[in-house]
A and B are shown apart, each in its own frame.
Chain A
Amino acid sequence: MAQNSVIQTHNLTKKYGGVVALQDLNLEVHRGEVFGYLGPNGAGKTTTIRTLLDLIRPTSGTATILGLDSRRDSVKIHAQVGFLPSEMTLYHNMTGRQYVRFIERARGVACMQEAEQLAERLDYDLNRSLEGLSTGNRRKMGLITALMHRPPLLILDEPTSGLDPLMQQTFNEYIRQIQAEGRTVFLSSHNLPEVETLCDRVGILRAGKLVAVETIQALSGLRFRWFVLEFERPIEIEQFRALSNVTALETNLENTRLRIQVSGAIDPVIKLAAHYPLRDLSVEHPSLEETFLEFYGSNNKHDPQTQKEVRA
């Protein structure tokens, strides 16, 4: 294992009968980084995480976490990892405080004080019953118990799913603080903006295969947007088609409504549109799945330049 690696997998594969959930995963996460694990639903993100934590066993391949073998040393690994599962379900017959006590006792580490601080920060009342909590509050409780023992590695599966924007911001601040302390965060997400905000690098998973590992700067270059422009009168479509950063274009029969896909700078599009009487303009951000299909859809054409040339 490289000295700087916190997570390292070697040809990690998980099959369920004939179905390949994860294939030959070779991944390295460095100490002190926030690593985003991106992929559409069903890509294999949760399978990877559950394999790393020895909740499920790999069909072949190996993984080391903090220099320890994921299978042989799973208990030692669990002591040093804070884990938030994708489906955070809690025991309904407890209060938050009782649940913290239970996890604290199971871990053998006193961390109630840290849990209380986290609860305050996340605006969560530990004295309330865990029964009937909203998704967001279950997530908060899960984050508290994942973070309260101050682990050197955090593995978070869709951590902000269900959190309101204000809490997402608080979560982001906390993750940055963790990173500043030299700790490592491995988080899965299908939310591209979240990953862009938080992560240093991302691994992109599709149909069980790691198709790319990019820095966040490289990932931002992949982004495209859809603009929907509605005009008072018909427009010259070919003028828009001729713009270099337009990668796709749709229009209605009357040529008064234009849906246009733009990569990179939007300035030429806006300037051209200003020549016509504009009734409405809206922007659609593509889902992560659309981005994947756009850039990693077939034949692993994950070079944006290559992809654009193909489309042009």
Chain B
Amino acid sequence: MTWAIFRKSVRDSWKGMFGWGIGLGLYALLVIGLYPSVAAQKADYEKLMESYPDSMMDMFGTDDLFSPIGYLQSQLMLYIPLLLGIYAILQGLNAVTGEERKQTMDTLAALPIPRWQILTEKFLATLVIMIGILTQFFLSLVLGRALWPELDISVDKLAMATYASLLPIMVVAGVAYLLSATLPMHRRWGGIISALFLIGTYLIYALGNASQTIEKFQPFTPFEYYDAVKILKSGLQIADLLVLIIATLVLWVASLYTFEQRDLGT
């Protein structure tokens, strides 16, 4: 592999990588910065929460919203896969349909690089970009923890929870790559279907905690296999992460297959 497409894809996205990383980092610092005041009024908040229905509390994925772990999950970690899922969709759609729409695909595909390699280099670039964003986010968590020690969570647990969120994000990226590789020139439809997948599975996951009817569909969402509270309390959940890794690999292989089969648009 020459890695030319990988390098170019990373280079094309470095502004986005730092934009998203800094944005999420500042948001993390804001959330962590508010924690000391929340912790100081913990008793009042808990009293207030008692008046809320249980189903609403279930949606936050924890029954302890004011401990450091519960607070971080409900105010921050819960949204990271959702937010970065949006960027993953954009990355996936740009990978193939973006090149076709810009009419640069013919030049790319006429290079002595097999189609599977073009897609693989782009997919790996997306992976690296997401790691770059999550690293900035993680550094913000470490900084926030240093500035406001009330958020008493170990650095290694913060690292595990942060980098494990990469896996549901890559599942979403995989869906976008598959649609991009399958639907020539239909970027809009690829975008709509990917967004429906992201938001739909997220809602199923969130509402499933509060509804038994929806709960049975939770295993079909990537978010079911990323539980930041469990990770922050007990470390990585290997079985869950394996499910996400396998799902990502299946989507990636399916993308390679469909991209290999079809005519390229100009």
- Residues of A with Cβ closer than 8 Å to B? 50, 53, 55-57, 74-76, 78-79, 81, 83, 85, 87-91, 93, 102-103, 105-108, 142, 145
Question: Quick check: is B8 within 8 A (CB to CB) of the other chain?
Answer: yes
User: Chain A residues near B7 (CB, 8 Å)?
Assistant: 105
User: Chain B residues near A89 (CB, 8 Å)?
Assistant: 102-104, 107
A51 to chain B, nearest CB (A): 9
With A87-B103, A93-B12 as given contacts, are A106 and B263 in contact (CB-CB < 8 Å)? no
User: Chain A residues near B111 (CB, 8 Å)?
Assistant: 78, 103, 106-107
Measured CA separation A118–B85 after assembly (Å): 44
Question: Quick check: is B109 within 8 A (CB to CB) of the other chain?
Answer: yes
Measured CA separation A75–B35 after assembly (Å): 57
- B101 to A, closest residue via Cβ: A89
- B105 to A, closest residue via Cβ: A55
Scoring B5, B106, B263 by chain A CB atoms within 10 A of each residue's CB, the highest score goes to: B106
Which label, helix, strand, loop or mixed, suits the secondary structure of the B interface?
loop
B187 to chain A, nearest CB (A): 16
Count chain B residues whose beta carbon lies closer than 8 angstroms to a beta carbon of A: 21
Specify which of A56, A79, A88 is in contact with B112 (CB 8 Å cutoff): A79
Question: Quick check: is B114 within 8 A (CB to CB) of the other chain?
Answer: yes
User: Chain A residues near B102 (CB, 8 Å)?
Assistant: 89
Question: Quick check: is B238 within 8 A (CB to CB) of the other chain?
Answer: no
Contact A55 B2, beta carbon cutoff 8 Å? no
Specify which of A55, A76, A106, A108 is in contact with B106 (CB 8 Å cutoff): A55
A131 to chain B, nearest CB (A): 12
| Cβ contacts B1-41/A at 8 Å (1 or 0 each) | 01111011000100000000000000000000000000000
Question: Quick check: is B236 within 8 A (CB to CB) of the other chain?
Answer: no
With A91-B104, A93-B12 as given contacts, are A55 and B109 in contact (CB-CB < 8 Å)? yes
Contact A50 B106, beta carbon cutoff 8 Å? yes
B237 to chain A, nearest CB (A): 40
User: Chain A residues near B2 (CB, 8 Å)?
Assistant: 105-108
Measured CA separation A71–B107 after assembly (Å): 17
Contact A55 B114, beta carbon cutoff 8 Å? no
User: Chain B residues near A91 (CB, 8 Å)?
Assistant: 8, 12, 104
| Cβ contacts B82-122/A at 8 Å (1 or 0 each) | 00000000000000000000111011011111100000000
A55-B106, A55-B110, A107-B112 provided; 11 other pairs, C-beta below 8 A?
Answer: A53-B109, A55-B264, A56-B263, A74-B114, A78-B110, A78-B111, A79-B112, A85-B106, A87-B266, A89-B107, A91-B12
User: Chain B residues near A107 (CB, 8 Å)?
Assistant: 2, 111-112
Contact B113 A75, beta carbon cutoff 8 Å? yes
Contact B112 A75, beta carbon cutoff 8 Å? yes
Contact A78 B106, beta carbon cutoff 8 Å? no
- B106 to A, closest residue via Cβ: A85
User: Chain B residues near A81 (CB, 8 Å)?
Assistant: 110
Measured CA separation A79–B113 after assembly (Å): 9
Measured CA separation A105–B7 after assembly (Å): 10
B221-266: which have CB < 8 Å to A?
A: 263-264, 266
Measured CA separation A100–B5 after assembly (Å): 13
Measured CA separation A90–B99 after assembly (Å): 10
B265 to chain A, nearest CB (A): 9
Contact B112 A108, beta carbon cutoff 8 Å? yes
User: Chain B residues near A87 (CB, 8 Å)?
Assistant: 103, 106, 266
With A57-B263, A87-B266 as given contacts, are A76 and B4 in contact (CB-CB < 8 Å)? no
Measured CA separation A176–B266 after assembly (Å): 30
Measured CA separation A93–B106 after assembly (Å): 18
Measured CA separation A92–B117 after assembly (Å): 23
User: Chain B residues near A85 (CB, 8 Å)?
Assistant: 103, 106-107, 110, 266
User: Chain B residues near A74 (CB, 8 Å)?
Assistant: 114
With A75-B113, A103-B111, A106-B5 as given contacts, are A55 and B104 in contact (CB-CB < 8 Å)? no
